[in-house]
Amino acid sequence: NFPLCSRARRSSLSVKAAMEMGTNSTEKFYRIPKGKGPHSVGCTDLMTENAVEGSFLRLYYPSCDTTNNEEAPWIPDKEYYQGLSDFLNMYRVVGERLFQYYVGSVTCPAKSNAAFKPGEKYPLLVFSHGLGAFRTIYSAICIEMASQGFVVAAVEHRDESASATYYCKKKSVSERQEESTSNMEKEWIYYRRLKTGEEERCLRHKQVQQRAQECIKALNLILKINSGEEVMNVLNSNFDWNSLKDSVDTSRIAVMGHSFGGATVIESLSREIRFRCGIALDAWMLPVGDDIYQNSVQQPLLFINSEKFQWADNILKMKKLGSNDTNKKMITIKGSVHQSFPDFTFVSGEIIGRFFKLKGEIDPNEAIDISNHASLAFLQKHLSLKKDFDKWDSLVDGIGPNVIPDTNIDLSPAEPE
């Protein structure tokens, strides 16, 4: 759900980018915010076998304090730049160079493959990304949650809604002889555009069902690891998966997502009762099936909306899900835009940020804090956590600076002409 702009309008982008970066390239020093909780944060990637039907996720987790692990790269492969270029209607060669120059050196404030911090049972949060996104670009949210004591599984969806993703397949014998290092190769899956005459709702509904299935698979995978089962990770990392044994609180599991990921949250809750509650960030309701509104989401659900993205029909669908249920809440963050939730808002300067609607009028750090604090308060209540997140309870009711209860959208029926 990135803003899609025309090529013509975008041609001035590189000029603006160059102006903004200047010769001293101050842009390189924009940072994704660190977690503010008591735990250090590590992250690692996990991909199971069986190709495209397997699971692919980035795990963010409380880690042991470590100095010898490097921060994880934010966008791990150049193919993601190509996918973002496709998604944004840019020529790949231009997009890849621009992204590489602009954010190629950005890292996540989480230590790559750092040792897992044992000793307590952590609640589990499964995270679903938006349209044209992928597993790493909500790291500000996922890292904050991990710093506050959650294990977070950020799924990378393979329904062709990610700008790019991949699975690993074995190389053929002839290819293997040339390169003895690995017998696996990456098979890339890029974002799929709507075909001419194709109905969007039909495609998105099909995708959201696959996405919910992938969230449930990720949940099952983490629980399998928690029970001490060996899991084969086809990505060679030196992370010790056995250290997660008995570290997940299997009674405290939630699901969270942004935009298309918000629709995925709703679909996942309706299918999987082990998700005890859900948080939908600026949800895009088009993919949600009609059957879901017939009482099939029993669990508590928090909608956190931006001020600039929503419209009446979308909000009315959210309200239809939550009518007369006090455990279904909605708040709106003043001055925020749809892109206030992914990380791009932090790594873009003012000109680029406004040009691509990656920044709203509110400071990006303040917007993400409101979203994270409201989420933590909601999770404490509905997962029965013994933390101090209830100090942010008022945010869940839309009380506080830069937050409003419910919605800023006028829902009064239109006057007949």
Cβ(169)–Cβ(84) below 8 Å = no
Cβ atoms within 10 Å, residue 184: 16
Q: Alpha carbon of 350 to those of 7, 11, 23: distances in Å?
A: 21, 18, 17
Tokens 């939908």 -> residue: 280
DSSP secondary structure letter of residue 292 = G
Which residues, including other chains, have CB under 8 Å from residue 225's CB and lie 6 or more apart? Answer: 231, 241, 244, 245
Q: Alpha carbon of 97 to those of 76, 91, 345, 356: distances in Å?
A: 15, 10, 20, 18
| 329 vs 304: CA distance, rounded Å | 8
Q: Which of 162, 11, 172, 14 is nearest to 82 (CA)?
A: 162
Tokens 């390169």 -> residue: 179
Name the packing angle between helices 200-226 and 260-271 (round to 10°): 60
Active-site amino acid positions = 259, 282, 338
| 340 vs 282: CA distance, rounded Å | 10
| DSSP letters spanning 331-351 | EEETT--GGGSSTHHHHS-HH
Tokens 């890029």 -> residue: 190
Tokens 């790019």 -> residue: 164
| 160 vs 416: CA distance, rounded Å | 41
Cβ(60)–Cβ(125) below 8 Å = no
